[in-house]
Amino acid sequence: MNINATLIGQAIWFALFIWITMKYVWPPLQKAMADRQAQIADGLAAAERGKHEQELAAKRSADALREAKEKSSELIAQAEKRAQQIVEEAKGTAKVEADKVVAGAKAEIDQEVERAKQELRERVAELAVAGAEKILRKEINASAHAEMLVALKQDL
Amino acid sequence: MSADGGTLTTTGYIEHHLTNLAVCADSAKVDGVCTGFWTFHLDTLLVSGILGLVVFGFMALMASRATAGVPSGGQNFVEMVVGLVDQQVRDTFHGKSALVTPLAITIFVWVFVMNAMDLIPVDFLPTALQAATGNHHLPFKFVPTTDPNLTFAMSLTVFAISIVLGLKTKGFGHFMHEVFAVPFGLKLAPINLLFRIVEEIARPISLSLRLFGNMYAGEMVFILIALLGIYQLPLALPWELFHILIITLQAFVFMMLTIVYMSMAAESH
């Protein structure tokens, strides 16, 4: 173990390498690492913000969905009510119409009955006259009793 | 194994592996061996310098291309290492200094790659170099951290930086007050000064000798294992795996203690 002038040479090497590290190695690396750290922190913050926004959006969409559901059920209820109303109205109209038809038919029937009665009345009178004629042919003069027959027809 | 003039002795082999490639003026040579202070260990200087230039050049390149976006593989790797060191600094050093983190990064990375040279089999690079130069007696140590010159250079630089940092953050008056009045108060100023000096000397010595001792011992075990011939195979692998832990741990300990010394220098007692 002999100490000699190599010591001085090594000290110069050492100083040179310290200077290189201090000037050219450490500052740019430190800056790059610090910048990257800042970038990562920013990225994480942005991700957090995005997540929060996404949560808000999900909440908003859920709200909108619920609102739409409420509205649609309301609409359906309204439509059902309206349909019932229409049915009720239709029922009413139909009844009125049916009554009218029934009334018309009744009136026609009455008329028909009246006419039949009239006809019958005439036929009965005719038959009575014809019968009487046959019975009374020999003894009764048709013209002499015509006045009486007209009076009879009026009574029937 | 490197042949030593045809005959190979165990002692010669070990000595050869523990000899630095030294250069000095011819006047300083005694029997062809460099003595005296003005000797340079070329191997230590070259290997540590080239490793440092490559690894810090790579890191600077990655840093210059660094973006805050998705990092490339290289950038990611460099960021991982730098981030690990930075975390340690944040946990331990609470002052404000633009120097401490780069200092810690430099120490960890540089010491780690220099230690990692130990994982290359002991004879591999020296033999290749001897074959390339044609000089079969060329000594060359490929693990710079086994040279105390390097570890002392680093620990003394750290020591100097800690003194400067202390003076800068506390001011001269406060610094001097701490030297003379802590821990026993001003009345026992000489004892306080003595304590302080012992403490300040012990730090760089323990810091450098810890790294040097661990790496030197690890290298020695590799050399001894390499001497076993064919029996080295089952031994070299476990020691290699274990050594991966040691080199990382030593780099980490050197860095950690440096951070601790810096924080002690910057914070008041």
Q: Which residues of A touch B40 (CB under 8 A)?
A: 4-6, 9
The answer to whether B104 and B255 are in contact (CB under 8 A) is: yes
Closest Cα of chain A to B72: distance in Å?
12
pLDDT given at position A132: 79
Of A30-39, A73-82, B102-111, B173-182, the range with the lowest mean pLDDT is: B173-182
Confidence of residue B83 (pLDDT cuts 50, 70, 90): very high
ipTM for the assembly: 0.89
Q: Contacts of residue B82 in chain A, CB cutoff 8 Å? A: 25-26, 29
Q: Where are the alpha helices (H) located in A2-155, listed in sequence order? A: 6-20, 26-136, 142-155
pLDDT (0 to 100) of residue B167: 92
Tokens of B138: 């060329």
CB of A31 less than 8 A from some CB of B? yes
Per-residue tokens: B108: 């960890």
Residue A140: is its pLDDT beyond 80?
Answer: no
Residues 133..172 of B with a Cβ closer than 8 Å to A: which?
A: 147-150, 152-154, 156-157
Residue type, B103: L
Distance from CA of B175 to the nearest CA of A (A): 25
Q: Using the beta-carbon criterion (under 8 Å), do A33 and B69 form an inter-chain contact?
A: no
Is A106 exposed, middle or buried, given 0-12, 13-18 or 19+ CB atoms closer than 10 A?
A: exposed
CB-side neighbour CA atoms (13 Å) of A153: 16
pLDDT digits over A78-95, tens only?
Answer: 999 999 999 999 999 999
Mean pLDDT of all residues in B66-95:
90
Residue pair B154/A9 in contact by the 8 Å Cβ criterion: no
Residues of chain A contacting B36 with CB distance shorter than 8 Å: 4
Burial A73-92 (b: 16+ CB within 10 A, else e): eeeeeeeeeeeeeeeeeeee
List of chain A residues whose C-beta atoms are within 8 Å of the C-beta of residue B44:
6, 10
Q: Nearest CA of chain B to the CA of A6: how many Å? A: 5
Q: Which string of DSSP letters, residue by residue, matches B31-69?
A: TTEE-SS-EEEHHHHHHHHHHHHHHHHHHHHHHHT--SS
**pLDDT of A69 above 60:** yes
Pairwise CA distance, residues B223 & B161, whole Å: 36
| Interface touch B63/A39, C-beta < 8 Å | no
Instruction: Return the pLDDT at A109.
Output: 95
| Residue of B45, B63, B68 with shortest CB distance to A35 | B68
> Is B41 in Cβ contact with A6 (below 8 Å)?
yes
Cβ distance B47 to A13 under 8 Å? no
Around Cβ B109, how many Cβ atoms within 10 Å?
25
Across chain B, mean pLDDT equals 89
User: Would you call A151 an interface residue with chain B, using a CB distance cutoff of 8 Å?
Assistant: no
Model confidence at B1: pLDDT above 70: no
The string of pLDDT tens digits covering residues A101-121 is 999 999 999 999 999 999 888
The number of angstroms, rounded, from the C-alpha of B8 to the middle of its chain's C-alpha atoms is: 31
Give, as one character, the DSSP assignment of residue B40.
Answer: E
pLDDT at A139: 66
Give the pLDDT confidence score for residue B4 in this predicted structure: 41
B2: pLDDT strictly greater than 50: no
Find the range with the poorest average confidence among A26-30, B14-18, B61-65, B258-262: B14-18
Q: Report, as an integer, the average pLDDT of B252-268.
A: 91
* Average pLDDT value for residue range B191-200: 91
The CA distance from A129 to A156, in Å, is 13
For residue A65 the two structure tokens come to: 């969905």
Cα(B128)–Cα(B125) distance, rounded to whole angstroms?
Answer: 5
pLDDT grade, residue B15 (50/70/90)?
A: confident
* Strand, helix or coil for residue B162: helix
Structure tokens at B79: 């960021």
Partners of B40 in the beta sheet? B23
Rounded to whole angstroms, what are the CA distances from B33 to B24, B102, B105, B221?
9, 39, 37, 26
Q: Do A4 and B37 touch (CB under 8 A)?
A: yes
- B207 in contact with A, Cβ within 8 Å: no
| Mean pLDDT, chain A, integer | 90
Tokens standing for residue B252: 């980490």
Mean pLDDT in residue range B82-94? 92
CB distance from A43 to chain B under 8 Å? no
Residue from the list A8, A21, A32 with its beta carbon closest to the beta carbon of B105: A21
The answer to whether B158 and B207 are in contact (CB under 8 A) is yes
**pLDDT exceeds 50 at position B138:** yes
Count interface pairs A-B at CB distance under 8 A: 129
Least confident of B21-30, B53-62, B239-248: B21-30
Work out whether strand B33-34 and strand B22-24 pair parallel, antiparallel, or are unpaired: unpaired
pLDDT at B5: 44
Q: What is the pLDDT of residues B171-187, one digit of tens each?
A: 898 888 888 888 888 88
Count CB neighbours of B79 within 10 A. Answer: 20
Decide if B71 and A13 are in contact by the 8 Å CB cutoff: no
For residue A1, the model assigns a pLDDT of 55
